[in-house]
Amino acid sequence: MVDIAHQAAIGPASTKDATPALVPLTAVEPGPWRALAQRAIEPNGYYLPAWELAVSASARGRTGASALSVCGGSSTRPIGLMPVVSLWQAWKIPLPALVSAHPYGTLCSPLIDRDSSVEAATRLLQRARKAGAHALILRDVALEGAAMASFKEALGRDRLEPRVLSSYVRASLDATQDGDRLLHEALGAKKLKELRRQRHRLEEHGAVTFDITRKVDEIKPALETFLQLEASGWKAERGTALIQDAGDAAFIRRAVPALAETAQCEIVTLRVGATPVAAGIVLRHQDRAFFFKVGIDERFAKYSPGVQLTLDLTRHLCADPAIASADSTASADHPMINPIWRGRFAIGDVLIPLRRNDPLVALIHAALVARGFARETARRAIHLLRKPTRATPPTAR
């Protein structure tokens, strides 16, 4: 049954069109993919080819993605691209549906050509039907974003409606504001005074500097610094640091230098003297930045190095005329980033039916709801049972 459902999700539904409905992600030409990304109606740094190809090649639990890729009219120029996996590959559910491939960063908004957005969404839905899917699941998509709006309009023409499976609100930064004024409005004079006091205490150990690394030959050692910091504390204890898995380490070591070649990645580092105490990876796509991860040296945890780094990053992004906004890509109610970046937008998982009155869609929806309930129950049980040796610091993620 699993094999049948898996093939139904990714196998051709018709032989009239010789063009394959799904292709391996590696078969998509990076050049046209990059060009589409520059025309995309909504930025997504995690679906840039250098990043997603590296994820699909080796990242833990995220390998082997395919692509729904469509061109406009009789043109060979791509107007839509969505990396996908089968519902079985995503969540071990043996039903015919396709799911956004997860690119490690928590954003899966597809790349949709701004000049042909509804056509692109319509063709992506057609391509999913041709692949034999009965539903398309967009996970971690911006619910009010331009890509989702394009899908809603395309669905409306077929009298179909998307179903939101789950959602949460996360932090973002309006980088068009003055950085210092924004921080004062977000944190208030009292909190900023306390953070300045901590920074002065940090300066007792050496001069505090904020470095930005972009060049390819310089970003590789900066990445190794980040990886060592990330693996130096509670993430290492839980086994979630990137460097602790060979596939994850291979992915990030491939992706970061590749994106640096196109000026779409930078590493920010806070140092005390010659000692790095915090570092973060930031992706760039169009006028938006994406704050991927931060690592800290927990020996300096009482000085809030992750917060100090984020304050400097905020000023840096606000001072950059090329950046209008930043996505924290953090969880809901994140204790470190939420008080600093006060913008908010909704992220969610969305079920898109591909045919009207399809009983299989109801079955897929029920299976996803049951999975969500079981996952939440397990999460709460683990939270109650877990007794860490020390508390997770609020300055890291």
At 266-297, the pLDDT tens digits run: 999 999 999 999 999 999 999 999 999 999 99
Rounded CA-CA distance 31/28 in Å is: 9
Q: How far are the Cα atoms of 48, 71, 277, 297 from residue 301, in angstroms, in the given order? A: 34, 51, 9, 7
pLDDT of residue 38: 98
Closest CA to 215 of 284, 261, 272, 184: 261
- β-pair partners for 66: 24, 84
pLDDT over 60 at 339, yes or no: yes
pLDDT over 90 at 194, yes or no: yes
Average pLDDT, integer, range 74-86: 94
Q: For residue 68, how many other CB atoms are within 10 A of its CB?
A: 25
Rounded CA-CA distance 209/203 in Å is: 10
At 15-49, the pLDDT tens digits run: 455 678 999 999 999 999 999 999 999 999 999 99
At 209-264, the pLDDT tens digits run: 999 999 999 999 999 999 999 998 777 777 789 999 999 999 999 999 999 999 99
Q: What domains are there in the chain, each with its CATH number?
A: 2-169+346-385 (3.40.630.30), 172-344 (3.40.630.30)
Cβ-count burial 9-42 (b if 16+ within 10 Å, e if not): bbbbeeeeeeeebbeebeebeeebbeebbebbbb
How is 138-171 classified by DSSP, letter by letter? EEEEETTSHHHHHHHHHHHHTT---EEEEEEEEE
Average pLDDT, integer, range 325-350: 96
Total-model pTM = 0.91
